[in-house]
Amino acid sequence: MYKVVFVDDEEQNLLLMEKIIDWEELGFRVSGMALDGDEGIEMYREIRPDLMLVDIKMDEMDGLSLIRRLREAYGAEDTLFIIVTAYDEFSYAQQAIRLNVENYLLKPLERQKLTEMLRKIKKRLDMEKERKQRQFLLGKQQSAFLFEKALSQLWGVFIRGETGISKDYGLENVIGKDVYRSFVLFSPDEPDEKLLEMVKTWGAGFYFQRQDGVFGIVKEENWHGIEEAYEKLRVTEGRRRYMLQVNAAFSSEDEFIESMFQCVLSRYELFYEEKSRMYYSGEGKGQAGRYEEADKREFVDEMLKELIYQGKSDSSEKILARIMKDAKEKEESPGQLVDAMLDMLYQLKIQLTKTYKERAFALLRHQNFLVLHEFHTSEKLRRMLEQIFRSVAEQVQEIKNDRGNYAAVGKIMDYIQKNYWCREFSATEAAEAVNLSRNYLLKIFKEEKGISFWDYVTQLRMEKAKELLKNTDRTVYAISLDIGYESQYHFSRKFKSLFGVSPLEFRNL
């Protein structure tokens, strides 16, 4: 969406320019209005618009003088200008050409002419945007994106033990002739958000927050600064623990892939560590011991029964703490311990489904269990599991204590699915259909589904709209009627607020 600003010394003209067309449908957002040249300059400095419509005749500073000043004093080379004038004189056109003005419009404005002009301007802006984006590929943010994308893909591949790794992550141009080194800062005592704020001050070239810890990349010539920053952190923070995993240096994409392989293999090196320490991937003692699964089976069964049938997590958390403590004392293999915890969670999900049938979908639905493999310390792993247990216990209690509401919400959902597209659809009619009061319906729907009644209806409508936009040639107006909106304007605004683009822009993606 491109930003547009109007400058005119008559307020009614500003309002007319705003209302004469649907700017957002054409790809523009009205971002500001100014009543004189000085205000127009301030508006430009604050907004940096892509397009300005400027009245040529204004007191104090005329439109051409405003454009000239913006070009000369503020470098407004990327902003396009349209002159709006009541004077069809050749001298104005000559001056406008010298100032590289995009075009000019005569008052009173004509909707069709303005629309055609904006479509051409949008096409030009789109082309310029694409050109800048191609240049941006070599910039720092794009480099960070490529590193983070490669890291995420490689981490997942190495954890799952897959083969056939891609050899083209687009990093050769990013790395160039430089030598880099990566590191991971993690802590059992600090949230990842705080670690990220710390690393931001260390001078790393790139840094990303991970599931557990912060991953950073720095040029080898600047590595000494990272070491100093870590040592200062370790000394000044006292009893809090901070671990720094240092990975092998790399000067090519292949070397980066190999360093990530060693990074993943060494992620459990300080799994049971009790003090701050820095270590290098591939140079540690590896994963000691093995996991005694049979010794824990009885405990795990007890945990599952309590969660599933009683909706309680207190004993489960105590048993989990006992399992983790025992694993630490025996230095059992962290990888195998995580695998056992994953197996336990999958068993929990299976039993919940058997017990509560379709309603168990709500339990654990947001959990990606494989992230447990990414925890670097036993304490962070334990906390994550405790959080899952508490969540399951709370939801089981809700199911046990509220079966009536669940059945009612099922009827409400069925009514919504059959009627959400009707323009007369309302919460009041839905409540009458299932013999509930409107307020009670809204209350139990939000409690049961975790989303408000109307937000859910809007989701259904917008998903249907996306389907119709992509698979039919129906107009935006017709589609708005098809999904229950009486106003195309309201439909388009809601669509844009949810997806960031107008319906027409979405259709053209």
| pLDDT tens digits, one per residue of 480-499 | 888 988 888 888 888 988 88
Asked, for residue 288, whether it belongs to a domain, the answer is no
Q: Indicate the pLDDT class of residue 247, thresholds 50, 70 and 90.
A: very high
**Residue 60 reports pLDDT greater than 60:** yes
Question: Is 53 or 391 the better-scoring residue by pLDDT?
Answer: 53
Q: What confidence score (pLDDT) does residue 331 get? A: 81
Strand-pair partners of 245 = 184, 279
Do residues 79 and 119 both lie within one domain?
yes
How far is it, in rounded angstroms, from Cα 124 to Cα 433?
A: 53
52 close to 81: Cβ distance less than 8 angstroms: yes
Do residues 35 and 131 both lie within one domain?
yes
Measured between alpha carbons, how far is residue 413 from residues 396, 400, 463 in Å?
21, 20, 16
Asked, for residue 111, whether it belongs to a domain, the answer is yes
68: nearest Cα among 50, 81, 85, 51: 81
Q: Which residues contact 284 (CB under 8 A, 6 or more apart)?
A: 266, 269
Question: Is 49 or 284 the better-scoring residue by pLDDT?
Answer: 49
How far is it, in rounded angstroms, from Cα 301 to Cα 368?
A: 22
**Residue 323 reports pLDDT greater than 90:** no
**54 is written with which tokens?**
């400027």
Q: What confidence score (pLDDT) does residue 361 get? A: 52
Longest dimension (CA), the chain: 93
Strand-pair partners of 215 = 184, 208
Task: CATH number of the domain at 227, please.
Answer: 3.30.70.980
Do residues 46 and 144 both lie within one domain?
no
Do residues 129 and 6 both lie within one domain?
yes
Number of neighbouring beta carbons within 10 Å of residue 43 = 19
**Residue 370 reports pLDDT greater than 70:** yes
How far is it, in rounded angstroms, from Cα 434 to Cα 453?
A: 14
Asked, for residue 286, whether it belongs to a domain, the answer is no
Q: What is the pTM of this model?
A: 0.53
Q: Indicate the pLDDT class of residue 244, thresholds 50, 70 and 90.
A: very high
Do residues 18 and 126 both lie within one domain?
yes
180 close to 219: Cβ distance less than 8 angstroms: yes
The three-state secondary structure class of 82 is strand
Asked, for residue 267, whether it belongs to a domain, the answer is yes
Do residues 162 and 232 both lie within one domain?
yes
Do residues 364 and 233 both lie within one domain?
no
Question: Is 349 or 89 the better-scoring residue by pLDDT?
Answer: 349
Phi-psi region of 311 (alpha: psi -120 to 50; beta: other; left: phi over 0): left
Do residues 131 and 163 both lie within one domain?
no
Instruction: Among 376, 400, 424, identify where a domain stops.
Output: 400
Q: What confidence score (pLDDT) does residue 288 get? A: 41
Do residues 383 and 267 both lie within one domain?
no
Asked, for residue 285, whether it belongs to a domain, the answer is no
Sheet of 28-34: strands edge to edge?
A: 28-34, 2-7, 51-55, 80-85, 103-106
Instruction: Among 136, 155, 178, identify where a domain stops.
Output: 136
Helices (H), 357-426: 378-401, 403-419
315 close to 306: Cβ distance less than 8 angstroms: yes
Do residues 384 and 429 both lie within one domain?
no
Domain ranges, residue 108: 2-136
How far is it, in rounded angstroms, from Cα 263 to Cα 256?
A: 10
How far is it, in rounded angstroms, from Cα 99 to Cα 105?
A: 16
| pLDDT tens digits, one per residue of 150-199 | 888 888 888 877 766 777 788 888 898 899 999 999 999 999 999 999 99
| pLDDT tens digits, one per residue of 290-304 | 444 445 555 667 767
Buried b (16+ CB within 10 A) or exposed e, 125-144: beeeeeeeeeeeeeeeebbb
Asked, for residue 178, whether it belongs to a domain, the answer is yes
Provide the terminal-to-terminal Cα distance of the chain, rounded to the nearest Å: 13
Q: What confidence score (pLDDT) does residue 220 get? A: 94
Asked, for residue 55, whether it belongs to a domain, the answer is yes
Phi-psi region of 75 (alpha: psi -120 to 50; beta: other; left: phi over 0): left
Task: CATH number of the domain at 28, please.
Answer: 3.40.50.2300
pLDDT (average), residues 333-350: 84
Asked, for residue 52, whether it belongs to a domain, the answer is yes
Do residues 106 and 145 both lie within one domain?
no
Residue 370: how many CA atoms within 13 Å on its side-chain side? 7
Looking at the 3D structure of the chain, how many domains does it have? 4
Do residues 373 and 451 both lie within one domain?
no
Which sign does the torsion angle of CA 342, 348, 351, 356 carry? negative
Instruction: Among 332, 365, 400, identify where a domain stops.
Output: 400
